[in-house]
Amino acid sequence: MIHKHLSIFISILILLTISSFAGDIDPTSGEWKPKMLSHDIKGCPPMMKAAFKKEQLYSKTQKANFSKPFHPNDLFDPKDLHPKGENLKWTKTAPNAWTTTLNIKDAAAAGMTMNVTWDLKVTSETSMDIKSRLSMQFPKELIAMMGGSSECKVNSDGILERIGN
């Protein structure tokens, strides 16, 4: 009889432990600071390469107020990410993980196209991993004027850490 109760108790403990790891993490609102871990630039025209080196994405500390459940649009100002200032459409890919892609074709830039993918993973209430993958394709005429290759790629990996209220 004691063995039966003990095995039921252990089973309940195991289920409670598993369920506590399966849920989504809600990050804590407050001041968040980005930290760039890697920033790889390939094939970009020289003037763009210099600008990308100076302006590493998400370089400023910011206040964030998160909804519950958490959604990435709470973290990013649409004016910083979308040319029309629209919220991005994030897709949840796993617990605590989201992705979004922005595709832009600029007729004013003689057919240049740009694709940006952001992947965000909440790793704790005070930390998130972020990856940015930028790819720009240039028409031949633009390459002749600016230099570089037909495709400019900028891959950035970083973390966001909560540093205070």
What would the pLDDT profile of 81-110 be if each residue is shown by its tens digit? 666 767 778 999 999 999 999 888 765 556
Supply the pLDDT for residue 75: 83
Per-residue pLDDT band for 140 (boundaries 50, 70, 90) equals confident
Supply the pLDDT for residue 160: 92
**Strands 97-106 vs 151-164: parallel, antiparallel or unpaired:** unpaired
Rounded CA separation 114/152 (Å): 9
- Hey, where are the domains in the chain? 25-164
Tell me the C-alpha to C-alpha distance, in Å, between residue 56 and each of 28, 68, 147: 25, 29, 22
With DSSP H G I counted as helix, E B as strand and the rest as coil, what are the percentages for the chain, rounded to 5? 30, 40, 30
What would the pLDDT profile of 13-65 be if each residue is shown by its tens digit? 454 444 444 578 999 999 999 988 888 989 888 878 777 776 655 567 889 99
Supply the pLDDT for residue 106: 67
Supply the pLDDT for residue 125: 96
Q: Which amino acid is at 48?
A: M
| Apex 122 CA angle, 117 and 124, nearest 5 | 160
Rounded CA separation 100/89 (Å): 6
